[in-house]
Amino acid sequence: MSNKSNKALLHLTDVSVTVENKQVVRGLSLTIKAGEIHALMGKNGSGKSSLSNALMGHPYYTISAGSAELMGQNVTELQADERSRAGLFLAFQYPQAIPGVTVANFMRSALIAHRGKEADMRGYRKELFAAMDELEIDRDFAGRYINDGFSGGEKKRLEILQLFLLQPTMAILDETDSGLDIDALKIVAAGINKFHTAKNGILLVTHYQRILDYVIPDYVHVMIDGNIVKTGGPEVALELEEGGYEVFQPAKTAVGA
């Protein structure tokens, strides 16, 4: 029996994104259903991260046209914190350091923001340590300041720890594999697979095919110049690996044709 459903978690229709009056995503449409993993692949400047940030509500990125729905709700009407509480999650390509704020305190604040100020947090440390053990993260990590002096692998594992604890319905992972050696990549990929269930969805944004050896997508989309130009199964990533993005570059009409 398939673990997929027909329930659309994220539904984008003709979405355009503008940055400083420049359109960087152009009429993109995409639907991710419960239980699905979608990979969005594209080289630098294709619009992948701009789309991710716009969906999460970053004020620098504006959804200037189209609709973006999370479980039927138009997220463009929500602030970033409201989108998060509604079930949307973004793992950043370049996580920022927050000196003076420990991992444990940060995660506790994030959970209270999601669950409400009256939430019973008496079992929080047990919950935190269980997630850390599951992800093979040393418990001493909880007392360190957020991303302060972290290696690239540690930063990305912290993103996955947040994913584990917040349990979003729809996770956007923006180049979670960037800057990782093979061992760190395997650990992060294992965390993503442990998080994924028939009830949630993942949009995995990446340059490279290598993470898709460990996190197997249902669909692979190729993004060029702000739109999806090719959709298929995992074989699309292998085509990219072999021929590069030029294989899917739209043909330009000759002058006078």
Would residue 253 count as lying in a domain? no
Its pTM stands at 0.90
141-168 pLDDT, tens digit each: 999 999 888 888 888 888 999 999 999 9
Rounded to an integer, the average pLDDT of 179-204 is: 92
Would residue 41 count as lying in a domain? yes
Decide if 208 contacts 194 (C-beta within 8 A). no
61-92 pLDDT, tens digit each: 999 999 999 999 999 989 999 999 999 999 98
Would residue 2 count as lying in a domain? no
Whole-number pLDDT of residue 254: 46
Whole-number pLDDT of residue 251: 64
**pLDDT classification of 95: cutoffs 50, 70, 90:** confident
Whole-number pLDDT of residue 246: 82
Tokens of 199: 């009830």
**pLDDT classification of 219: cutoffs 50, 70, 90:** very high
Would residue 256 count as lying in a domain? no
Q: How many domains does the chain have?
A: 1
**pLDDT classification of 5: cutoffs 50, 70, 90:** low
More confident residue, 1 or 243: 243
Would residue 124 count as lying in a domain? yes
Q: How far apart are alpha carbons 140 and 144 in whole angstroms? A: 7
Spatial CB neighbours of 174, under 8 Å, sequence gap ≥ 6 = 48, 49, 52, 53, 90, 91, 92, 93, 205
174 DSSP β-pair partners:
205
Whole-number pLDDT of residue 45: 87
Decide if 205 contacts 174 (C-beta within 8 A). yes
Pairing of strands 145-146, 98-102: antiparallel
For 254, which DSSP code? P
Would residue 47 count as lying in a domain? yes
CATH number at residue 139: 3.40.50.300
Domain that holds residue 227: 8-248
